[in-house]
Chain A
Amino acid sequence: EPEVTQTPSHQVTQMGQEVILRCVPISNHLYFYWYRQILGQKVEFLVSFYNNEISEKSEIFDDQFSVERPDGSNFTLKIRSTKLEDSAMYFCASSERGRAEKLFFGSGTQLSVL
């Protein structure tokens, strides 16, 4: 089965630094998402992206966050100035269509902010 791939699997950064988390969605998918999971807590929606623009975002996704599809294959999440509370597992997902469609998840990037 096709896979969503995420790099790196672990990222350690200092508070205040910028990080970019990278994802390669499944090639024929049109909808892309970022979720995060703080240790021991629920999987939280951050943002969805379709047709080269954000289609929906949560309250968590403030001005410190941005997403980009810089070429035909990558989908990135940038955190401009990391805070301690940004430490979490970040999951990228993609789907062929929106809403009722099955989401395909990557294995996640564990971000640790020190």
Chain B
Amino acid sequence: AQSVTQLGSHVSVSEGALVLLRCNYSSSVPPYLFWYVQYPNQGLQLLLKYTSAATLVKGINGFEAEFKKSETSFHLTKPSAHMSDAAEYFCAVSEDTGGFKTIFGAGTRLFVKA
């Protein structure tokens, strides 16, 4: 069964600094991996997804993530944080097992300091 672990429930960076949010996955078959963002009082929105094409995936708002099979990781990065990036970020995994289910991690709240 698939699962996702996000390291760090809270991450704080200064504006302009590198953002790194960590995600490790467990899957018995090649996974589909996603990062979603949730702003206050809103639903989740897709940032980017990996579906076995390029291992470096570019998403919206300058975010990107790299799929590393050997490390079972899919960390999210952004070179320079902006105040508007403050939100909760969820890593998610979906498997091609016949059912339709996406499993989410516990989330990492990103704080951006001026």
When C-beta atoms are compared, the residue in chain B nearest to A6 turns out to be B43
Are B107 and A103 in contact, with the CB atoms below 8 A? no
How far, in Å, is B3 (CB) from chain A's closest CB? 11
Query: Which residues of B lie under 8 Å from residue A48 when comparing CB positions?
Result: 99-101
Number of interface residues of A (CB under 8 A): 25
CB within 8 Å for A45 and B44 given contacts A99-B32, A99-B94: no
| B51 proximity list for chain A (CB < 8 A) | 100
**Pair A100/B49 contact, Cβ less than 8 Å:** yes
Residue numbers in B under 8 Å from A105 (CB-CB): 36, 43-45
How far in angstroms is the closest Cβ of chain A from B30?
11
Q: B residues within 8 A CB of A44?
A: 104
User: Which residues of chain B come closer than 8 Å to A45, judged between CB atoms?
Assistant: 101-104
Q: Which residues of A contact B32 (CB under 8 A)?
A: 99-100
Query: Within the assembled complex, what's the spacing in Å between the Cα atoms of A33 and B106?
Result: 18
Question: Is B94's CB under 8 angstroms from A56's CB?
Answer: no
A19-67 interface with B by 8 A CB criterion: 31, 33, 35, 41-45, 48, 50, 55-56, 58
Q: Is the CB of A106 within 8 A of B49?
A: no
Binding site for A on B (CB under 8 A): 32, 34, 36, 41-46, 49, 51, 90, 94-96, 99-107
8 pairs from A and B in contact (CB 8 Å cutoff): A33-B102, A43-B107, A45-B103, A48-B99, A93-B44, A102-B34, A105-B44, A105-B45
Q: Measuring CB to CB, which residues of chain A are less than 8 angstroms from any residue of chain B?
A: 4, 31, 33, 35, 41-45, 48, 50, 55-56, 58, 91, 93, 98-100, 102-103, 105-108
